[in-house]
Structure 1
Amino acid sequence: MRAPPRPDFFVSFLKTVKKLGATGILLEWEDMFPYNGTLRVLPAENHYTLEEVTTILTAANELDLDVIPLVQTFGHLEFALKNEEFKDVRAVPSEPQALEPSRPEALKLVKDMIDQVMTVHALFKPTHLHIGCDEVWYLKRETNGSAIFVDHVSSVADYVGQKHNVTPIIWDDMLREMPVEELKRLGPLVEPMVWSYHEYGVRDLPNVMWTRYAKNFKTFWAASAFKGADGPVALMPDVITRVRNHVQWLKVVERVRPEFSSFGGFALTGWSRYNHFAALCELLPTGIPSLALNLFILEAGRMDPTSCVRANKFLNCSVLAAENHYTLEEVTTILTAAYELDLDVIPLVQTFGHLEFALKNEEFKDLRAAPNEPQALEPSRPEAVKLVEDMIDQVMAVHAHFEPTHLHIGCDEVWYLKEHGNGSAIFLDHVTAVANHVVQKYNVTPIIWDDMLREMPAEELKRLGSLVEPMVWSYQESRVQNLSNAMWTSYAKNFKTFWIASAFKGADGPVALTPDLISRVSNHMEWLKVLQTVRPEFASFGGFALTGWSRYDHFAALCELLPVGIPSLALNLLVLDGGPIDSKLCIKAKKLLNCTVLKEFSYLRKYRFDDCNFPGSRVLQLVGNMEHLLKVHEYVVFSNKSKTEAWYSEYHSRHSFTSTIPFRKRENQWLLLKKKWEKLANEIAAELRALYGEPTAMEFLEQKIFPRWKALVDVLDLVARTREQRTWPRRPLPPSPEIRRFLNSSNILPPD
């Protein structure tokens, strides 16, 4: 056991193991068994009591888990041989690792341990006893090591079979190079458990070994590792390595199984120390995800995404969630607040395109439409539909308490279908399947983004007409104008209800800091015109969705954060409410946002909202300061670009080869600008930590501020180094190591 859990946790672990599909437990008690009498020095001070051992075994029995006790009887007997009382039965006096079987007291020690363990286990009718016998290294140095090994194992196995009427199992490593004649003696007595804890180790087990085992043993077992095999001080199992270990074992067992009469099964070992004296490695709780995944893989007989999905679902975890994801309690708090404010919440679950957050993961890479692009799903795979349904089910399980009427299922920008000969059919089949699942299971109406429908023939749209409602999206005035009359006519023939999606932020460039109020208002004003024209053609209009993206997709950098878009949101909600875009409307928006300056202007561009006091308004003020500082930065750093490139570049910095003269007038400006960036960074970080948490605060700084600050630090460092410099190297200066690779790869010059 080597890192024994408390009995109550042990019992809960057994329940988990049973739910995962295991049929039994291989249990090495080592010094946690309550040995007594002449063996009373063996138990650790914190050993299990007899009552605790019985509780554990009773729990396993009630769960219908077979328990195979493991009692080391040759090697790895450190816990016994370290004691004064048994030092004389060591094979090597200075090493308490292995037994010297020629001494009568050695066999008595082994039999006494077996008897005490089996006295307790006998109440639960075990069929096997594992007697260890691995890594008896000193025998490798003995000329008759094989004979010594077989003699001792035969004695122990005879004793186990005759007295306790169970079948002995042994680790196989000492048998692998053993002469066939010696193996014959063990054939009728034991069953080998072939162990290897790494993919390559399993793969490299030689065919000749398997042939010899098959000739001498009717039954074999395979031992993998779900933890405890990735380094003697590892804190966590390497799940990829663990999976590869099990997948390779499946291949090998499938190949060699026909050569034997029977296969005992897989033993998924989970060591917590490499031996009795070693430091702790992975503790049991850290290995449970690996155990779950690998048990599902063994059950499936192969590695597939379904095993990952099952493991994640069983463990109530998800590779989809970010490390700083909302907790279930936080999600419920948000939805409760919306409900109490009488706000309808429509959850949006992407189910086709824009699934980067899911498909980027190893577990779901086989479900991608394009192997190297985790953007869209390949819906023809059964696991793909299951992934989508699982996401919907988990989201709706929470939202259902608040009685939603709609679920948005995404389905925008599935670009690969544009290059597919039957792209429309694929799209319609998948959307129909997802929409049916949503309607039948949750009795809510699915909404989809409309862009994939715009060029679809009206006859094909009929399939979706009774299932979904399209949300027509366009975030720029000109693009709203360009939505064709033919498209609207087709939609009106096939859909009773339509929605409109505008943008109050997140549509003015993938790295924009603030929304362009003119563009945002123009977008909404144009939508009002279009709505007035097309509304009579439909039975109903669902409403406006004012989108406010903070990234263009999952991999994109941050664009406008929510607080900086709130003035735009306020202004455009007032526009949609029927207000003309004039000074009165702008003043109304400023009053709603608790602004202090209510002066009227004739132009919208004149209105500023950095004097307002709403949640997050300080972020808006600081981002405004940042935009100003960016203009100063561009002027100070790049106003004399030719000078900068002539005396400061990566080339000059790498060789410390420049002069301070061109920089003298600018150095103070750079120092002042650097300090301003540092002050702003600290102020923004404090605000963003409060509103978003550390990860988003750090990402914003790294993307928006750090590159500017770093450029100043680099040039100031070069100036400082140059000021201290008293000599300079002779030309020519050695080229960058990268330049030769560049020349070779570009075929500009032949290599040396």
Structure 2
Amino acid sequence: MRRRLVHLDLKGAAPRAQYLEQVLPLLRTLGATGLLLEYEDTFPYTGSLELLQAPHAYSPVELRALLSRAREQGLDVVPLVQSFGHMEVYYLGEGEESQQWLQQEGNTPEKLYLSHIKAVATCLASSYPMVTPIVWDDMLRGMSEAALAESGVPQLVQPMIWDYAADIDVEGKVQLIEKYRRCGFSKVWFASAFKGATGVNQSLTLIGHHLRNQLEWLHVARRSPADVLEGIALTGWQRYDHFSVLCELLPVAIPSLAVCLQALKNGGYSEQVKENVENLLGMSNLEIDTYMSTCVGTFPGNTIFTLVTEVSFYLKSSVDELLERNRYVTGWFSPYHRRRKIIHPIIMHHFQPDAVSLLSKWNAVVQDLTVAMEQVFHSCAIEEWMEENVHPTLQKLQQVVDDLDEAIKAQN
């Protein structure tokens, strides 16, 4: 794996530029050789494209500084630009104009796709002859060798073969690489995942899954011709698409990224690799096969990692324990009692202190997490994460405490 690109998905919870600059030296130390930057609406578009810009988009000054910092660290930067590859291509051929084109003899959806890819790649080559486009291989996999070879596309682009599973079909991938070589592709890329691939609303990163994914890709690499593999991109999806909820925040996934990079750099995983990761992250013990690593590290964003872990593990479970499994709450302060402001004056003392204490504790944790997140994210990302992962449970607890106060006042 000569080239190891870390994918930064900026279409959700895009980190502040200052935070990314702090992370770059760590990525290089861990074994990254470059970045795959998916700007989406965070790019500082101007002119007619300015309407694509999000309110929290990076400024030209911030972006130049970030790219300069990447160069200083010896990191290549590959921009991931949304184009034909990831925009609704599965429905290709269903539009009216496409339907008319497909009715002509010899025309197929395969040819329609390949003709567009060829046109874009040819245009790019004429303006930037030293740049070779990389395309996700979703639509290429099932195409016939004849269609691919005849299109001329293999001479213009390099396919990125992606699979984020912990048990990928190694033999199938080896055969796919051989197929691409026969069609004329000179190089291929792999795409693994260090986060954002195990659940659309995942909040914690299961390191073991992503580690096994890297190890599977190493198996594929060992069974492939040495001259065909250009590199691997470790994807870190922030959303499954632009309109889905957030999955794991980047600081939460740094330990997973560290393990994955070190495994690829060292050609496998061992106790020595684990020790290297712990030393580089400043963590005394890193859990690989569970979500639970509560020890505090020294890497950028480690406070977010620690507090998000605490919230994800204990917030809902602790509130549910009080409100749904405490006999005094379920038996003497049920929804029926709460609506009518009925409370037994003796029973009340069995759970009111616990409810108030629990609310106070979680309010303090959430406040600490908010402060930590403000150093890394813009307010829109913090607001979204809190509404999805904190507010539903915390508001439920707050409402019970408020109802308890109302019932006591009514009784008095």
TM-score range, shorter chain: 0.7 to 0.9
Contact 1:567 1:609 in 2 (8 A): no
Aligned match for 1:416, one of 91, 95, 106: 91
* TM-aligned CA distance change 1:455 to 1:583, over 3 Å: same
Correspondence 1:465 to 2:158? no
1:199-598 alignment to 2 at 5 Å? 315=47, 318-352=50-84, 354=86, 376=88, 414-417=89-92, 422-443=108-129, 444-462=131-149, 463=151, 464-481=153-170, 483=172, 486-494=175-183, 495-533=185-223, 535-536=224-225, 539-595=227-283, 597=284
* TM-aligned CA distance change 1:580 to 1:466, over 3 Å: closer
Aligned match for 1:692, one of 361, 368, 377: 377
* CA deviation string 1:400-440 (max 9, x = no partner): xxxxxxxxxxxxxx332387874323322222222222221
Partners of 1:636 and 1:521 lie apart in 2 by: 37
Q: CA deviation at 1:594?
A: 2.6
The residue type paired with residue 445 of structure 1 is T
Partners of 1:658 and 1:352 lie apart in 2 by: 60
1:401 is matched with none
Q: CA deviation at 1:636?
A: 2.9
- Secondary structure of 2:311's counterpart equals helix
- Secondary structure of 2:188's counterpart equals strand
Partners of 2:170 and 2:319 lie apart in 1 by: 38
Partners of 2:337 and 2:172 lie apart in 1 by: 53
Contact 1:448 1:468 in 2 (8 A): yes
- Secondary structure of 2:193's counterpart equals strand
Partners of 2:260 and 2:90 lie apart in 1 by: 31
Partners of 2:50 and 2:331 lie apart in 1 by: 49
Q: CA deviation at 1:638?
A: 3.8
* CA deviation string 1:309-364 (max 9, x = no partner): xxx98847611111011001111111111111111110000102655xxxxxxxxx
Partners of 2:313 and 2:45 lie apart in 1 by: 49
Contact 2:174 2:220 in 1 (8 A): no
Contact 2:70 2:77 in 1 (8 A): yes
* TM-aligned CA distance change 1:628 to 1:542, over 3 Å: same
Q: CA deviation at 1:670?
A: 2.8
* TM-aligned CA distance change 1:492 to 1:315, over 3 Å: closer
* CA deviation string 1:32-56 (max 9, x = no partner): xxxxxxxxxxxxxxxxxxxxxxxxx
* TM-aligned CA distance change 1:419 to 1:486, over 3 Å: farther
The residue type paired with residue 165 of structure 2 is Q
Contact 2:193 2:236 in 1 (8 A): yes
Correspondence 1:668 to 2:353? yes
* TM-aligned CA distance change 1:579 to 1:315, over 3 Å: closer
Q: CA deviation at 1:686?
A: 1.0
* TM-aligned CA distance change 1:490 to 1:317, over 3 Å: closer
2:297 is matched with 612
Over the matched positions of the two proteins, sequence identity in percent amounts to 31
Q: CA deviation at 1:721?
A: 3.0
* TM-aligned CA distance change 1:720 to 1:482, over 3 Å: farther
* CA deviation string 1:514-572 (max 9, x = no partner): 21011011111111112212x22x74211111111222211122211111111111111
Partners of 1:645 and 1:604 lie apart in 2 by: 39
Partners of 1:509 and 1:683 lie apart in 2 by: 26
2:25 is matched with none
- Secondary structure of 2:390's counterpart equals helix
Partners of 1:645 and 1:419 lie apart in 2 by: 58
* TM-aligned CA distance change 1:640 to 1:354, over 3 Å: farther
TM-score, with structure 2 as normaliser: 0.75
* CA deviation string 1:342-398 (max 9, x = no partner): 11110000102655xxxxxxxxxxxxxxxxxxxx3xxxxxxxxxxxxxxxxxxxxxx
* TM-aligned CA distance change 1:663 to 1:699, over 3 Å: farther
- Secondary structure of 1:692's counterpart equals coil
Moved more, 476-485 or 586-595: 476-485
Contact 1:689 1:696 in 2 (8 A): no
* CA deviation string 1:631-671 (max 9, x = no partner): 32343344369x8599755x987xx3464359764443332
The residue type paired with residue 722 of structure 1 is A
- Secondary structure of 1:319's counterpart equals helix
User: What count of residue pairs does the alignment treat as equivalent?
Assistant: 351
Q: CA deviation at 1:610?
A: 3.0
Partners of 2:169 and 2:332 lie apart in 1 by: 47
Partners of 2:163 and 2:93 lie apart in 1 by: 19
The residue type paired with residue 90 of structure 2 is W
Q: CA deviation at 1:590?
A: 0.8
1:704 is matched with 389
Larger Rg: 1
* CA deviation string 1:668-688 (max 9, x = no partner): 333222222211121111111
TM-score, with structure 1 as normaliser: 0.43
* CA deviation string 1:678-712 (max 9, x = no partner): 11121111111111232222222222212211111
Partners of 1:584 and 1:347 lie apart in 2 by: 34
Partners of 1:512 and 1:711 lie apart in 2 by: 22
* TM-aligned CA distance change 1:530 to 1:719, over 3 Å: same
The residue type paired with residue 61 of structure 2 is E
- Secondary structure of 2:269's counterpart equals coil
* TM-aligned CA distance change 1:586 to 1:481, over 3 Å: same
Contact 2:189 2:230 in 1 (8 A): yes
What RMSD in Å do the two structures reach over aligned CA positions? Answer: 3.3
- Secondary structure of 1:544's counterpart equals strand
Partners of 1:461 and 1:508 lie apart in 2 by: 32
2:32 is matched with none
* TM-aligned CA distance change 1:581 to 1:637, over 3 Å: farther
Q: Could you list the runs of 5+ residues in structure 1 that have no partner in the other structure?
A: 1-311, 356-375, 377-413, 727-752
* TM-aligned CA distance change 1:480 to 1:578, over 3 Å: farther
* TM-aligned CA distance change 1:313 to 1:636, over 3 Å: closer
Contact 1:610 1:620 in 2 (8 A): no
Partners of 1:352 and 1:527 lie apart in 2 by: 26
Q: Could you list the runs of 5+ residues in structure 2 that have no partner in the other structure?
A: 1-43, 96-101, 103-107
Partners of 1:646 and 1:430 lie apart in 2 by: 68
* TM-aligned CA distance change 1:640 to 1:417, over 3 Å: farther
Partners of 2:160 and 2:52 lie apart in 1 by: 26
Partners of 1:696 and 1:510 lie apart in 2 by: 16
